[in-house]
Structure 1
Amino acid sequence: MKPTDEQLAMWGKTFVPPLDIFFVKEEIVKDLACHLDQVLLMPREEFNEHTSYKQILYANSYEYWNVSEEGTFVIVAHPEWVTSLPHDVLEKLLQLQIELERGLVYPIEIFEDVHLFPLEYIVRWKEKQYVVFQGKMWCQLTSEVKNAALLAIANEWEIVTEQDITIELPDHLNKYANTYATTGGSNCLSSTLYAVRGVEWRLHEWVHPRTFIAGIVRAGYERLSMNEEPYHSGDIIVWENSDGVVQHASYHIKDDLFFNKNGQTFFNAWRIIRGEDLRKVWSDYAAVIYRKVEGS
């Protein structure tokens, strides 16, 4: 399974957002004081509520959900800003993005030819080297280098199997099974709803947990009081955290094979996946079954 050339071209346009975002610790703000005249510096709480930066484009690329809470301030900058920083300041800032687990940071070993990346964006942290992608740097790369980088990153996001699982599927699932999305946004919940109802436009939306549960209940599903295996064809498996909040959902086709999407980025493909692989990924959460009521 590989993204198409058209998808790679679209990914290349949105992989790095229009503005650079850096998460920083409070004590680092003082060290950067003389370099902040051309940026927006805001408290993390204010940033989290900012309409512009809550867009899927920014959230997916910078992986907000992974960023450490130690990053209590956020710098929003024009892509040219990093070129004005002294080398030692830039290096410390990029190292901090690695430490705080911001997105657009990848270990150098996943790329075949690292010499094609500008050296100032290859940073060492705790005995490992990483490539930290930023707007200015991304614009400097050729289309060929961008495509190679995107393919390498896509391989990091997905469960690696020797070959795609192919089975007979309903037409609406067959259209998307074992393919990548062109844009970010579609998540596991919209994908599972699509498997149930086949409403195509909803497949590409980012659906939230309460909306999802309400949707499958309207489709005639009810939660089982006890987990029953083997699963029935058409069962929905939902993984919840200790507070009962939905973390993931997947649609059981048959024979422990699922129509699944593991996240909301375009690197997360719609895949036919074995239940054993799915359960490994989500083993930290409690699995519950929703089953369609007969006659509904």
Structure 2
Amino acid sequence: MTDGYTLSSKILEQWKARILPEVDWFFFTNDECFPYGEMDVLVKSNLSLDIRTSFLTWSLPEGVFVKKMDPGEFEELSYEARQRITEIQWELGRGLVFDHEETEEWFGEHVPPLYKGAGKKLVLFTIDFWRSLEDHQKEGFLRAYSRVWVDEQPLWKGAPSSFKTFMQREYPHLIPYLDVFPERNGANCLAAVAFAIDASSDLYHWMQAEELDHLMAGREEVGGITGKEVLVWRDSEGKIIHACYALNKEFVFNKHGQTMFNPWQLLTVEQVIGSWGDPVIYR
């Protein structure tokens, strides 16, 4: 649900340019199921943030192969080949493949190519299909797609006036980013924490855990939240998997992921704990 989150025309223009790369990407579990040219082994660590976000590559199994095709090349294949490729993408969890029932209200009178697979009618996004859409249809899709990524209602606009006065005094640099979508991929939860602490920090920096550890040097673990604490969640191996910044005892500045579809958010402490569990608190 993104109603109330800031998604300006400027942001939508950036998203339209980033949602798909310059060539189509398709993924396969072995190099024999695509008889239309050679494939490469997918090396996830080499992928740009835009590619990772477009195709949800973190959902793909290890050891998959990738085939890149020029715009329109996929559409030149037989319908049977396109249908089978689409079904494979759906089964692998590739991004930008949808059940047609999800998309019926997205494109208005424009009916996308449909492919049968997994007992469904599937819509596969390709560059050729994206280019066939009018600007208002692209924007309609992006607005609808962004809703898939956000569970929480925005809080800033309806926040108490006393809290807004507090934010103006204590965190004026955060106000332009409360309940706002980024223009591009890369800004993550750790960078949001760093920016909350220091307004000169790069909010779009894809910050690594080691950098956050350095930033928190001198902070100590405490038992409660009163404000200005860093809340940290770690996995079973002790690696940081999420962090946010406590503005006061009730609200935090948060970003759930590193994609452009994850807004910077004002959340309650209860909300973020509900999503991530109990944190370690540093002051």
TM-score bracket, normalised by the shorter chain, equals 0.7 to 0.9
CA contact (8 A) 2:107 2:140 kept: no
How far off is 1:11 after superposition?
0.7
* Root-mean-square deviation over aligned CA pairs: 2.2
CA distance in 2, matches of 1:85, 1:281: 44
How far off is 1:108 after superposition?
3.8
- Map residues 158-197 of structure 1 onto 2, 5 A cutoff: 158-161=150-153, 164=156, 166=159, 167-168=163-164, 169=167, 170-197=171-198
| TM-aligned CA distance change 1:114 to 1:108, over 3 Å | farther
SS of the aligned residue for 2:205 comes to coil
CA contact (8 A) 2:86 2:117 kept: no
CA contact (8 A) 2:27 2:64 kept: yes
Q: Give the match for residue 212 of structure 2.
A: 212
Q: Which one is further off, 141-150 or 167-176?
A: 167-176
| TM-aligned CA distance change 1:162 to 1:271, over 3 Å | closer
How far off is 1:107 after superposition?
4.2
CA distance in 1, matches of 2:91, 2:109: 24
CA distance in 2, matches of 1:276, 1:104: 32
CA distance in 1, matches of 2:112, 2:136: 18
Work out which of the residue numbers 133, 136, 150 in structure 1 matches 2:128: 136
CA distance in 1, matches of 2:172, 2:122: 42
CA distance in 2, matches of 1:221, 1:129: 53
Work out which of the residue numbers 19, 31, 39 in structure 2 matches 1:41: 39
CA distance in 2, matches of 1:265, 1:91: 29
CA distance in 2, matches of 1:48, 1:158: 25
Q: Give the match for residue 88 of structure 1.
A: 80
CA contact (8 A) 1:116 1:145 kept: no
Higher helix proportion, which one? 1
CA distance in 2, matches of 1:123, 1:282: 37
Asked whether 1:273 is paired with 2:267, we answer yes
How far off is 1:80 after superposition?
2.1
How far off is 1:114 after superposition?
4.7
Q: Give the match for residue 243 of structure 1.
A: 237
- Map residues 118-137 of structure 1 onto 2, 5 A cutoff: 118-120=111-113, 122-137=114-129
| TM-aligned CA distance change 1:150 to 1:232, over 3 Å | same
Q: Give the match for residue 199 of structure 1.
A: 200
CA distance in 2, matches of 1:241, 1:75: 34
Work out which of the residue numbers 16, 21, 24 in structure 2 matches 1:17: 21
How far off is 1:216 after superposition?
2.4
How far off is 1:287 after superposition?
2.2
Paired residues in the alignment total 269
CA distance in 2, matches of 1:162, 1:234: 21
- Specify every segment of 5 or more residues in structure 1 that has no aligned partner in the other structure, as ranges: 292-296
Q: Which one is further off, 188-197 or 110-119?
A: 110-119
TM-score, with length taken from structure 2? 0.86
Work out which of the residue numbers 9, 12, 23 in structure 2 matches 1:8: 12
Percent pairwise identity: 25
CA distance in 2, matches of 1:131, 1:239: 37
- Specify every segment of 5 or more residues in structure 2 that has no aligned partner in the other structure, as ranges: none
How far off is 1:162 after superposition?
6.8
CA distance in 2, matches of 1:228, 1:100: 43
CA contact (8 A) 1:237 1:251 kept: yes
Name the aligned partner's letter for residue 194 of structure 2: L
Asked whether 1:64 is paired with 2:68, we answer no
SS of the aligned residue for 2:194 comes to helix
Name the aligned partner's letter for residue 242 of structure 1: S
Name the aligned partner's letter for residue 61 of structure 1: S
How far off is 1:115 after superposition?
5.6
TM-score, with length taken from structure 1? 0.83
How far off is 1:172 after superposition?
0.8
SS of the aligned residue for 1:260 comes to strand
CA contact (8 A) 1:187 1:207 kept: yes
| TM-aligned CA distance change 1:244 to 1:2, over 3 Å | same
- Map residues 247-262 of structure 1 onto 2, 5 A cutoff: 247-262=241-256
| TM-aligned CA distance change 1:173 to 1:2, over 3 Å | closer
Name the aligned partner's letter for residue 221 of structure 1: R
